[in-house]
Amino acid sequence: MLIFGTIQGALLALLALGFSLVYGVGGVLNLSHGAFYLITAYVFYWTIPLFGMTISAVLALAVVVGIAAATFLALIKPLQDTHIGVVLVTFALAFFFEQFVKVVGDPRTHYIVPYVPGPVEFLGVRFQAQLVILLVGSLILVTLVTLFINKSKIGKSIRAVSQDAEAAKLMGINTDLVMMTSLMLSALLVGFAAILYAPGNFIAPRIGWGYLLLAFAVTIFGGMGSIPGSIVAAFIMGYARSFSDYFISTAFSEIIPIVVILVMLLVRPQGLLGKKELQ
Amino acid sequence: MGLILEVKNLTKKFGGLTAVNDVNFEIKRGEMLGLIGPNGAGKTTLFHLVTGFEKPNSGSIRFNGMSITGKRPHRIVNLGIARTFQLVKSFRYLSLLDNIAVACLSPRGRRAFASWDIDEAASTILASVGLVDKARMPPVILPHGDLRRLEIGKALGTNPELLLLDEPFSGLSYEEKEGITKLIRRLNDEGVTIFVTGHVLRELMTLVPRVVAMHQGRLIAEGPPEEVANNKIVLEAYLGRGEKFA
Amino acid sequence: MMNFEIDLDSSLRRFRTWALSYRGTITLLSVLGLLLIPPISGSEYYAQVAITAMIFTVFAASWDLLAGFAGQVSFGHSAFFGVAGYVTAALVRFYEVHWVLALMTGASVAVLFSLLIGIPCLRLKGPYLALGTLAFSLILLNLFMMGTILGGTEGISGLPVSQNLFMDFYLILAIMIVSLVVMRAIADSNLGTVMKAIRDDETCADASGINTTIYKLIAFMISGFFAGIAGSLFVLNATAVNPAVFQPLYSFYAIIMASIGGLATIYGSTIGSFLFVVLSESLRRLADMALLVFATVLILVVRFADEGLMNPILERSQELWDKIRGR
């Protein structure tokens, strides 16, 4: 079950990284994060019969990134100053997508056929071959993004803004652009999670919330706004869940994220690797 | 007369930085004491320590003979020490009247204004700082000088014995400074002990009879303003940092 | 802590002035309208829709008190709602307690839980507070779903059905009005002023000698109490309760309704709640479209009307009315 743990960790890393990034850069709790997963998965599902898997995947990714940009421009930016305005509007958006998918599609659960069908055996464990793609894809992506943030010029801007938005503005950095880029990057990551994980799995209108909760839990665990923290936390939680799946029960694993959130909030709100001061 | 505040060996470190370093001084009841020092000298940290917003690493603070070291801010306020902040704080969405009323609603405020209607008490205080004509307005409309008056008003709402004013003159025009000076002097005449910091000595020279000077966390001089103004160490501290002194 | 000196004469005079004012008249007319729903429509269906709306009004208003006035934004208000509901259900179903007593007990237990949840959450601010409260409600959800605690996933059912829905209607209307008036009175009182101060700047409140901990907890308790009343009424009306009542969805209903009506208004929750309930009922035939439309409305409202709908609508309509009258 180490393998499952790693796979879980990979998935969680993809989910949490973007979420943490957006919070770190702009202090925005993007409650529509789970909805991004949802919409990617559904667009993917709907367009597979039309364009085949690969093109649909690209299309779905493009759609979700576009939605992220639109969300920022239309909804988030104007409400940045209000207390809970952003939180409410992203929540409303998540709600909207859930209903949208229900109406345009249908409320039933669907199954997406994986790229690589059939199980695979590795070190004596049988599991879906699709999950290998998830694992590999996730590791590649996470590495790419981390490199991007640490080495590229845009990455530097991102880090600058996340440390001190005011100072960054004074240095001539376009904070709005940085925020939008972060949001789009976050959508890309979670969109990839959807494309890699949803095939071979079920999708339904309500799944967005579960993924949002997972992203929350991992981010709080690792430290809101800390990239390495999210990655580390993702894998720790991934292993924890797969262990508890195996040794205790799947029901218990469901509660782990919640317990983690509570414990972290009460004991160490800045997470494992987070900044000392809270926002 | 007696000592209203005794600070002994007070030290506060932030990681590697020692913001307040073994500071000792006293304030007599009813006096006006000034605290000067260049930026970063530790003046505000000292205020935070005395008013409970920071806990010292070592040392003690006694108010009217009673130890208040490490107590929570609101408890210290209710014992009789009030303060203003360098960056003015106010309740954004409340009227000026309500801003002051909140302080009057503290346990100490209630005791002081027991026989009054809270709004009346707040109104009277607002009048004493010269803002009663804007009682129903929110703080956002006030010019900087009036905001400082509001802050002092809020501090008065808790009926303090000792009032700590953190750089009340910064950012003010000449007339505004005159006004604040008059206000502080009047408060002192009414019996409130004043402990006020300033960046530039000139403002304090006309106001307080005694001054202590801080530099890099230590107290480096003490005495009447003219003496301290001519103190070699003090001059070096300011000039060394390239700052204006007086 | 509060001075309740009721001077009858001046109170009556103030009431009269208010009643004749624009807002006062509109309010009284609305109440009158509500009062007339049962006799005029003669339909149990409409009465039931209104009952649901009124119950959620109290729930949303309780959230507004905590978030809009005390600045503590909770995402787990369903915890108080559900706990009170379960207590009430258990008392009525298993111990044949009279509903009034069960209601009060349910609300009291909700107050207890508001302390249980409020105390650990004291240090948390902003998104952390929201998350923490959400986490607590999720724990309750899972707790009540597991095993056989009070019926497990089935919950408790079989509460006595009401004899006269119209009587219930008037009872609940009365409770709603009283609850709203009390909550508003608290918000306008000195207690409310202090809570608002804490909301605006906690450090400054601290520096003004206010023990923010105590006041935050008081806000939690009052909010929990009224959320509990709503929860108990909900369960009594539905004659059953199950773990679904702890869902985050219910917490979000409160947030949505209060936000649409207007934060820090208390009364705005009526608009938010009635709009929501009536809209979802009337679009029910279009089933899923209802919620989609609603979600869109919500996005638009949050985006463009951040002080909610109630005040802007009242102000605009008052301007219009004044114009019509030629002022």
The count of structural domains within chain A is: 1
Nearest Cα neighbor of B43 from B225, B170, B183 is: B170
Q: How many B-C residue pairs are in contact by the CB < 8 A criterion?
A: 76
Q: Is residue A44 part of a domain?
A: yes
Cβ contact A95–C130 (<8 Å): no
Q: Which of C292, C294, C307, C309 to mutate to test the interface with A (most CBs of A within 10 A)?
A: C292
- Chain A's closest residue to C257, CA to CA, is A88
Beta strands per DSSP E along chain A:
110-111, 119-122, 125-128, 202-203
Decide if pLDDT at B1 tops 60.
no
* Beta-strand relationship, B193-198 and B32-36: parallel
Q: How many A-C residue pairs are in contact by the CB < 8 A criterion?
A: 97
Number of DSSP helices (H) and strands (E) in chain C, helices first: 14, 2
Decide if pLDDT at B240 tops 90.
no
Cβ contact C200–B92 (<8 Å): yes
Three-state secondary structure string covering chain B: CCEEEEEEEEEEEECCEEEEEEEEEEEECCCEEEEECCCCCCHHHHHHHHHCCCCCCEEEEEECCEECCCCCHHHHHHHCEEECCCCCCCCCCCCHHHHHHHHHCCHHHHHHCCCCCHHHHHHHHHHHCCCHHHCCCCHHHCCHHHHHHHHHHHHHCCCCCEEEECCCCCCCCHHHHHHHHHHHHHHHHCCCEEEEEECCHHHHHCCCCEEEEEECCEEEEEECHHHHHCCHHHHHHHHHCCCCCC
Q: Any idea what the Cα angle at residue B123 is, between residues B119 and B126, rounded to 5°?
A: 140
Q: Which of B96, B102, B106, B165 to mutate to test the interface with C (most CBs of C within 10 A)?
A: B102
CATH assignment of the domain containing A195: 1.10.3470
Q: Where are the domains of chain B?
A: 3-80+161-240, 90-146
What is B3-80+161-240's CATH number? 3.40.50.300
CB atoms within 10 A of CB A160: 18
Q: Please list the pLDDT of chain C residue by residue as tens digits (327 residues).
A: 455 566 678 878 888 888 888 888 888 888 888 888 877 777 888 889 999 999 999 999 999 999 999 989 899 999 999 999 999 999 998 898 999 999 999 999 999 999 999 998 888 877 788 888 988 998 898 888 876 667 778 888 888 888 888 889 999 999 999 999 999 999 999 999 999 999 999 999 999 999 999 999 999 999 999 999 999 999 999 999 999 999 888 998 998 899 888 888 999 999 999 988 988 887 776 666 777 887 888 888 878 876 778 888 888 888 888 888 876
Contacts of A213 in chain C (CB under 8 A): 138
A neighbours by CB contacts (3+ pairs under 8 Å): C
Nearest Cα neighbor of B201 from B178, B173, B167, B172 is: B167
d(CA A135, CA A142): 11
Tell me the C-alpha to C-alpha distance, in Å, between residue C128 and each of A164, A265, B85, B157, C133.
20, 7, 27, 33, 9
d(CA C225, CA C223): 5
Contacts of C124 in chain A (CB under 8 A): 265, 269
**What digits encode the pLDDT tens for the residues A123-157?**
666 667 777 778 888 888 888 888 888 888 888 88
Q: Which of B91, B151, B159 to mutate to test the interface with C (most CBs of C within 10 A)?
A: B91
Do B151 and B90 contact (CB within 8 A), yes or no?
Answer: yes
d(CA C59, CA C180): 10
d(CA B19, CA B13): 6
Please state the ipTM of this predicted complex.
0.90
d(CA B152, CA B184): 9
> Helix, strand, coil proportions of chain A in percent (round to 5)?
75, 5, 20
Mean pLDDT value of segment A32-58: 87
- Computed from CA positions of residues B147, B151, B152, B153, in that sequence, does the dihedral angle turn out positive or negative? positive
Report the run of H or E that residue C14 belongs to, with start and end: helix C8-20
- CA within 13 Å, CB half, A96: 20
Provide the b/e sequence for C145-183 (b: ≥16 CB within 10 Å). beeeebbeeebbeebeeeeebeebbebbbebbbebbeeb
Q: Is residue A236 part of a domain?
A: yes
* Beta-strand relationship, B3-14 and B58-63: antiparallel
* Beta-strand relationship, B58-63 and B210-215: unpaired
**Residue A181 lies in domain:** 2-267
Contacts of C208 in chain B (CB under 8 A): 74, 77, 102-103, 106, 154, 157-158
Picking from B74, B93, B154, the nearest residue to C206 by CB comes out as B74
Q: Is residue A275 part of a domain?
A: no
Decide if pLDDT at A268 tops 80.
no
**What digits encode the pLDDT tens for the residues B20-43?**
999 999 999 999 999 998 888 889
Picking from C190, C196, C209, the nearest residue to B94 by CB comes out as C196
